[in-house]
Structure 1
Amino acid sequence: MDKSLNLDQLRSFGLVIETGSFSAAAERLGLSQPAVSLQVRQLERRLAVRLVERVGKRAKATPAGMELLRHMPHIDAAVENAIDALADHASGIAGRVRLGTGATACLHFLPAVLRGLRERFPELGVVVSTGNTEDQARKVEENSLDLALVTLPVAGRSLAVMPVLDDEFVAIGRADFAPLKARVAPGDLGALPLVLFEPGANTRKLVDRWFAAQGLHPQPVMELGSVEAMKEMVAAGLGHAIVPGMSMAGRGAHPELKTSRLNPRMHRTLAVVMRRDKPVSKALRAVLDAIVAAGKPGRR
């Protein structure tokens, strides 16, 4: 048996039983009485059962009709849920957006952005992956990511680059162990044991250039890919580090660490990169706008 059902026929049947009259149901539906009668007969033929019978002057449901009525609230709810879900897609604020970023921004910048997006657009899913700038830019170019939040500079002729925020670097050390001055220069840090980012990362290149401008080329005691690992090593008294300021702000603050500003100051610029030819859906626009809005206070 074909298990498809005509929703208009179901509605006509339900209103006939609710009102007790084909003519009253027709008036509610804005149809003629013969049209409603035809829909009910077609539904009965479709199901091969009698659904309506007359009891006196009223139309009543047969036992089979009563069984169908028992299921109709579930049918109505399923249809309503489907329509609501499609309405979300029609508005564009639904579906999935693939976002790449670095580990530090993932920990210390994106959580508030993603929470706000979920509260505003519960049907929107943002799938986040982490990696270095080069890898994330390549994935955007390959269209395996819709956009990425990365540390500049970034290469790629097919990429559009939108700066979002400036993140100033700070030096960190144990608060109770050889505390640093309020402002430190390359010469203050060059002779100390240093815990730095792994080679090749854009953040490491910035730090190396900061030292090199003063003719210094320190040899770190550790080279790590995680800013949180760097902070823990410094907290253990194993050295000092230069880290993005966002990693020490708010919930990123560490009770055993003291921060010092750099002299000269150094910052990195985080930017959103997308393919220039990428169609910007409403869902993608919502994610992009949320990232840019969150970055505005940080453009210091």
Structure 2
Amino acid sequence: MQSIRQTLKNTLTLRHLDLLADVAELGSFSAAAEKEALSQPAVSQQIRALETFFGVRLIERSGRHMRPTEAGRAVLAGAGRIRDEVEAMQEAVQPFRAGRAGRVRIGTGATACIYLLPPILGALKREMPGLDCTVRTGNSPEIRRLVEENALDLGLVTLPAPGRSLEVTPIFEEDLVAVCPAAEAPAGPITAAALAARPLVLYEDAGHTRLLIDGWFAAAGLQPKPVMELGSVEAIKEIVGAGLGWSVLPASSVRPGKAGGLGSVPLEPRLCRRLGLVLRRDKRLTAGLREVIAALRAGLTG
């Protein structure tokens, strides 16, 4: 074993593997040499050294192009794993080298951004000052699309969250409640029929939460006809607080003692929404991303 390790140390480098990948991708020694600013004989020599190390031919001519042999494809697959491991090691040592812990791009709805994330991300920032978290708000379909496109690393969205390329983990459930001026709040739960008889100020119909609300009314044979539709939960609360209507909002947005003159009433039957974490199935979990996921799990499930 020691002799194999010594041979590996002396003869096999990442440069060899990169050149093999270049030849396999570009189809010729000359193209690989041009890409790497080397001479063609230098590339040929390093590929031969790699073949000597493994004791098998890795590249063969197919027509006018060079192609990896079956053994070459096996080496290329291993080279891909080695590159992933090297990138992971670079990510792991980055905080020690540059005083940072990386950057994580999070997407979520406005309600979660205002009422759920600040204490979680605040605590995480105190523990990891070098971690840079950016948050983008939008409706759940938009956030899901941005995660699929890799424009965001992680999403916290209302479920369900369809998408073959996504890994979805349910993480949080909360009630939706009727919200009204505090002086108008009834003593007990309110039905769909009673709520529909009042002027309604609801979310714009672009997101999952509005679909849940419409579905709750539809189950009672009703179709809500809001007097206003707004995209901001804070704007809705201001309108309701001014006595211009009632709304249905997540319970987290009207916490006791912080409702600012608003009252909240349970719905009958109960209506709740589920939030989940979404990320690409092929997403490489950096150290920073793992810390953010762990913090969200602890903060929302605890």
- The DSSP-based 3-state class of the residue aligned with 1:126 is strand
- CA distance 1:260–1:95, change in 2 (3 Å): same
For 2:227 and 2:101, how far apart are their aligned partners in 1?
47
Amino acid across the alignment from 1:152: L
Per-residue deviation, 1:281: 1.2
Q: Which one has a bigger Cα radius of gyration? A: 1
Change (3 A) 1:171 1:290: same
> Structure 1: which 5+ residue stretches go unaligned?
1-84
1:255 CA displacement: 3.0
Indicate the SS of the match to 1:289: helix
**In the alignment, is residue 262 of structure 1 matched against residue 275 of structure 2?**
no
Aligned residues: 211
Give the TM-score, by structure 2 length: 0.67
- How many angstroms does 1:89 deviate by? 5.1
Equivalent residue, structure 2, for 1:139: 146
Secondary structure, aligned partner of 1:209: helix
Which residue of the other structure, out of 244, 248, 251, is the alignment partner of 2:254? 248
Aligned CA distance change for structure 1 residues 168 and 89 (closer, same or farther; 3 Å) = farther
Q: Which residue of 2 aligns with 1:121?
A: 128
Alpha-carbon deviation of 1:271?
0.6
Aligned-partner Cα distance in 2 for 1:143–1:285: 16
Q: Is the 8 A contact 2:94 2:101 kept in 1?
A: no
**Structure 1 contact 92–283 (Cα < 8 Å) conserved:** no
1:91 to partner: Cα distance: 11
Change (3 A) 1:99 1:92: farther
**C-alpha deviation, 1:90, in angstroms:** 7.0
- 1:228 corresponds to which of 222, 228, 234: 234
Deviation at 1:181, TM superposition (A): 3.8
| Alpha carbons 2:104, 2:289 under 8 Å: kept | yes
Cα RMSD, aligned residues only = 1.9
Structure 1 residues 237 and 98: alpha-carbon distance in aligned structure 2, compared to 1, 3 A threshold:
same
**Percent of pairs with identical residues:** 47
Q: How far apart, in 2, do the equivalents of 1:171 and 1:138 lie?
A: 30
Identify the residue that residue 215 of structure 2 maps to in structure 1.
209
Asked if 1:180 corresponds to 2:207, the answer is: no
Partner of 1:282: 287
Which residue identity lines up with residue 170 of structure 2 in the other structure? P
Give CA deviations for 1:156-189 in whole Å, capped at 9, x if unaligned.
110000111001111111122x433421110110
Structure 1: how far apart are the matches of 2:227 and 2:276? 30
Work out the CA distance in 1 between the residues paired with 2:255 and 2:280: 32
Shift in alpha-carbon separation, 1:224–1:89, aligned structure 2, 3 A: farther
TM-superposed deviation, 1:240? 0.3
TM-score by length of 1: 0.67
For the residue of structure 2 that corresponds to 1:239, the secondary structure is coil
